[in-house]
Structure 1
Amino acid sequence: MSRAFILLLDSFGLGATPDAGKYGDAATNTFGHIAAWAAKEGKPMDLPNLEKLGLAAAAHTACGEWAAGFNQRDGFTAAYGAAREQSTGKDTQSGHWEIAGVPVLFDWGYFPKEVPSFPKELTDKLQELTGVPGFLGNCHASGTTIINELGDEHVATGKPILYTSADSVLQIACHEQHFGLERLYDMCEKAYELVKPYNIGRIIARPFVGENGNYKRTSNRHDYAVPPHAPTLLDHVKNEGGEVIALGKISDIYAGQGVSRVVKGPDNMALFDALLKVQDEAGDKSLTFVNFVDFDQAFGHRRDVAGYSNALHEMDARLPEFFAKMKDGDLCVITADHGCDPTSPGSDHTREHIPMIFFGPGVQGRALGISDTFSDIGQTIASHLGVKPLSNGTNLL
C-alpha cells in the first residue's frame, strides 16, 4: 500500500532566494531569524524531531548558515533539501500550485500600496450589487489588526472592511452575527466576478466575532480562488482512483479542483488532531494535504516572533504521534509555500527557499541539495503513488 502526506507549514521559509532582492526580501530568513531571536532571548529553540529529520541541515543548504542553537550535523533520518520557486511573486496560490506541478509563470494582478487600494469603479459596483452603505479600510493591512481597529465602526455602520496584502487578493471582513455569515459569502461571490478583469487570484471571506474593540476571526473563512490553469498532482491522484483529502484551506486554494474530501479546523493543533484521524482512515493511493495556516496568518503576518517560535515547538512536540501511525508504503514531506519573516518590516510574505523534508519507512536519510522548482515535491509524490507524471518537476527519491 502506498500513501502520501504533505504537511505544509504555511510561510516557513529557510532564507532568501537568489532573486529575493527583486522583491525587497534579500535579507530575509524566517527560520534563521526566529532561531537567532530565541538564542538572543536566552531561550534557544529546541525542535528535536524536526532537527533529527534534517530541518537545520536543509536550512544550511538553503542559506549557507546553521540556525542558532541547532547542533546536529549528521545522522539525519529524512531526505532533506530546499527548493526555490519558479513562479513569479510570493503568493499562497503560486506556491501551492507549483508544489503540485503547476508553476505560475504569468503575473497576477495586485492592488497598490496606497489608500484607497481598490479602484473606485470596483468598490462602487460592489456597493451597488450588495446594497451596503459603504466600505471601511480599503488599504493594505494585517487582518487581525484591522478588525480590531475598525470592528466597532463596522458593527455600528454595517460597512464591510476591505483590505489586501502583497498577495493577489481582496479580503472582506464582517462580523458573523451583526452582518451575517451567509451575507458575507454572497458579497464575496459577487466580488469574485468583479475582480476577474484585474486578474486577482482570490477573494477571501474573513468572518469575525467579538465586541468593543476585541475581535477574533473565526474558522468560517472561505477563499474564492481562481482554479489552477492545468491539472495538478491532486487531479492526477483523484483521476486515477486515489482519494485526495484536503485539510485546512487546501481545497480553497485549488478551488476544489482534484479534492475528494475536505476537513476543516480552527487552528494548527485542531488540524493536527484531524490529520491523525485521517491518517487512520486514508487508503491505498491516497494523498493527504494539510496547510498549517497559523504560522502565516497568526504569527508571520503579525510579526509575532515569539508566537511563531512557540507554534514551531508545538508542532515539533506533536510529530511523534504522526510518526507512530505511519505504515509501510507511507511517504510524507514537510514543506512550505513561501516565507513570512516575522523580523522583517511590514506584514507581507517573503521570497525564500522552502524546506523539502521527505520521510517514511522506506526513506533513507540523505541530502537532496537545492531544487530549482517546488514541483520536484509533487513529482516525487506522483512517482511514489504510481500516478501519471506531472508536467513539471523531477522525482527526488
Structure 2
Amino acid sequence: MGTIPPSAPGRFGMALAALALAATACTSAGGGDDPGGSGSEAAVLTIAPEAGAEAVAPNTPVTVTAENGTISEVTVDQVVPGQAEDEASPFEMTGTLSEDGTAWTADWNLAPGADVTVTATAENADGEPTELVHEFTTEAAVEGQRLELSHNFPTSGETVGVGMPITIGFDLPVTEKTAVENSLKVVSEQGVAGSWRWLDDKTVVFRPETYWEPYQQVSVEMHLAGVRAAEGVYGVRDHRLEFEIGRELRMDMNVPDHEMVVTVDGEEVRTIPVSNGDGTSNFSTTSSGTHVLMERYETLLMDSDTVELPAGRNGYSTTVQYAVRTSNSGEFVHEASYNGNIGSANTSNGCTNLRMDDARWFFENTLMGDVLETTGTDRVKEWDNGWGYWQPSWDEWLAESATGEPQVTDGSNPPGSPFGAQDGGTDEE
C-alpha cells in the first residue's frame, strides 16, 4: 500500500476529542444551491463501515470515497468504554489518500470494543465543503482471545549497540503473521531496510540489513489494537517503544591469538588478553561468528548443571564477576582470576576468560547490542543461539519474513496490509 508522508497533503490524523455531530446517512452532499451561480455540483461522500453498524470486526478497514470533489480531511475518533487512560493508544489514526484525492483508507485496524466516530470532509471544484459523519461500534475481544504484548527487547529509554535486534513477544500464538508484521512499524533517524523473522508463534525479531548507524533514535510503533492474530483472536492495545543507538563499539577476537581488540567509532581503544575454550569438544569450543552482547551480571555462579555438559567431562561450579552473555548455550565473557593462561593458552570450558581489571572495564564500557566478531574455531555459532541473528545473510533473513518484503525505517508504513483475513478466512498460505 502506498503512503503519503505525514507532512504532505492527504495524510490525516485522528481527532483527539470526539466530535459532537449526529450520524448521517451513508452518503452526503453539500447543502444548498451555489450562490455564485457557478453550477458546480456538491461533493458527495461515502463512508464504510455504515452508520449505526454494531459489532464491526476490528480488522475492517475504514474507507472514505468522494464524488464531484476531493477529500480534504478525515478524522477517526475511538473511545473504548472503561479503558484506563494509560491504556489508550499513543497514536492518531492515519490514512492513505489516492493520487486523485477521491479515496482514503485507514492505515491501521480499529480498537476492539470501541465507539467509533468517522468525520470526513470533501470540497467540490469551487472549494465548497461537504461533511459526513458516521458512528458505529466494533466487536469486543473475547476473554482468553485478547492478544497482549508479553515482552520486548530493548525496552524504552535504553541505549544499545549497533547490533541490537528488536524482539517482540506475545502472550498468545500468532497464526496470521503477515497481518501482525504489517502492524509493526520501525522508524529510525537514518532510514534503512530491515525485516522481521518469527522465532516461533509467539516471538518475532527485527534486524536491519546492516548494523544500525550509531548515535540515532529508533522507535517501534506497535499498532496491535484490532489486528487479527488468529481466528477469533484480536490485539487489544497499541504500544510504542523508543530507544537509542549509542557509539559504535565493536570487538574482534581471533581465538588462536589469545586477545580481543576493541574499537570505538573505528578507533582502537583497548587490546584485552583472553583465554577461550580448550576445544577438546564442541561444548568447550568457543563459537565463531557474530555474537551480540546480551544480559550481564556483576556476580554469577557458573554451574555446569545449567548446560548440557557432555558425558565424560568434569562438572564445575564457580562464581565469577563481570559476566556478559554472548549465547544461550552458556558462553559468557567474564572474569576468571583463577585462570593463569589468560593471554597465552585456551583452557576454558568455552567462555572467554579475562583478568579482573579487563573484565571490569569490559563490563562498564560495553552495552547490550554491541558486536563481538569471533573467528578461528571450527564451531560455527547457530543463528538462533542467543542473538545470533547476524549469522544469516540479509537475503536468508529476509526470506523468512512473513511478508517477504523489506520494511524501510524512514517513516513509511510496512510493505503490506495490516487488516488480514476477513469473515473467518486466513491470510496465510
- Normalising by structure 2, what TM-score? 0.22
Judging by fraction of residues, say which structure has more strand. Answer: 2
Which is richer in helix?
1
Q: What TM-score do the two structures reach when normalised by structure 1?
A: 0.23
* Rg larger for: 2
Higher RCO (CA 8 Å, separation ≥ 6 residues): 1
